[in-house]
Amino acid sequence: MKNQLPQGFRYLPGYFSRQQQEELVELVRAGIKTAPFYQPRMPKTGQPTSVIMSNFGELGWVSEKSGYRYDPLHPKTAEHWPKIPQELLDLWGDVTSWPQNPQSCLINWYREGSRLGLHIDASEQAKDAPIVSVSLGDQALYRIGGLHRNDPTRSFKLSSGDVLVLADTARHCYHGVDRIYDGTSTLIPKGGRINLTLRVVR
């Protein structure tokens, strides 16, 4: 059987222009002045993840040895996260018809060698709201499968400025990032890839 993309998966290559991408990087840079990137830990094992994280929004997704959670405060500074920039709320309005705005924007920074194992995003109470994801910087090999871990997967390269929307069935499918193609973009001065994911939490 042909391995199709899950229903509700939308890939919008080149959604953001180079200038818009630069503006988004600038907004991330401003955000991390008050909410610096921190190194998450895997629940239970306490192993550090290769991806470092921060958030925008009233709730931030946090991973520590004690578990995952949405938290209004940064785990290191205990300060509120900066507001989600209007540019990202505009993106949400453009690509979804969900009646609520996202409450959270996770900021993932992948450096050379970083990866993100196959997972389902399941920490949200609003399980049926779409998730919108923005890629900035180096290209990534992205993989999406099905509702079960062993379902067949499809891989493709995400480039800077690309947007993904995971709605309906795709919202509940396994996905991950297998590798970063180091040095494939000049967008981020220190290199690597930044991924922004917008979510409704509850």
Contact of residue 116 among ligand MD6, Fe ion, none (CB under 5-8 Å per partner type): ligand MD6
What's the token pair of residue 153?
């997967």
- Residue closer to ligand MD6 by CB (options 80, 89) is 89
Q: Computed over its alpha carbons, how large is the radius of gyration of the chain?
A: 16
> Is residue 129 close enough to count as binding ligand MD6 by CB under 6 A?
no
Look-up of token digits 């222009």 = 17
Q: CB of 142: closest distance to ligand MD6 in angstroms?
A: 6
- Which of 66, 64, 58 shows the shortest CA–CA distance to 198? 58
Q: Which of 74, 121, 167, 194 binds Fe ion (CB under 5 A)?
A: 121
> Is residue 162 close enough to count as binding ligand MD6 by CB under 6 A?
no
Q: CB of 110: closest distance to Fe ion in angstroms?
A: 13
For residues 155-179, b (16+ Cβ closer than 10 Å) or e, as one string? eeebbbbbbbbbbeebbbbbbbbeb
Cα 151 from chain centroid? 22
Q: Stretches 15-23, 34-42, 121-129, 152-160: which one binds Fe ion (CB under 5 A)? A: 121-129
User: What would the x/- binding string for ligand MD6 be over residues 76 to 115, using CB under 6 A?
Assistant: --------------------------------x-------
- Residue closer to ligand MD6 by CB (options 24, 177) is 177
- Residue closer to ligand MD6 by CB (options 27, 194) is 194
Please report the sign of the dihedral spanned by the C-alpha atoms of residue 54, residue 140, residue 50, residue 144.
positive
Size of the site for ligand MD6 (CB under 6 A): 12
Contact of residue 170 among Fe ion, ligand MD6, none (CB under 5-8 Å per partner type): none
What's the token pair of residue 96?
């979804």
Look-up of token digits 């629940």 = 43
CA atoms within 13 A on the CB side of 148: 3
Q: Stretches 62-70, 106-114, 118-126, 136-144: which one binds Fe ion (CB under 5 A)? A: 118-126
What's the token pair of residue 73?
């405060």
End-to-end Cα separation, the chain, in angstroms: 37
> Is residue 201 close enough to count as binding ligand MD6 by CB under 6 A?
no
Binding site for Fe ion (CB under 5 A): 121
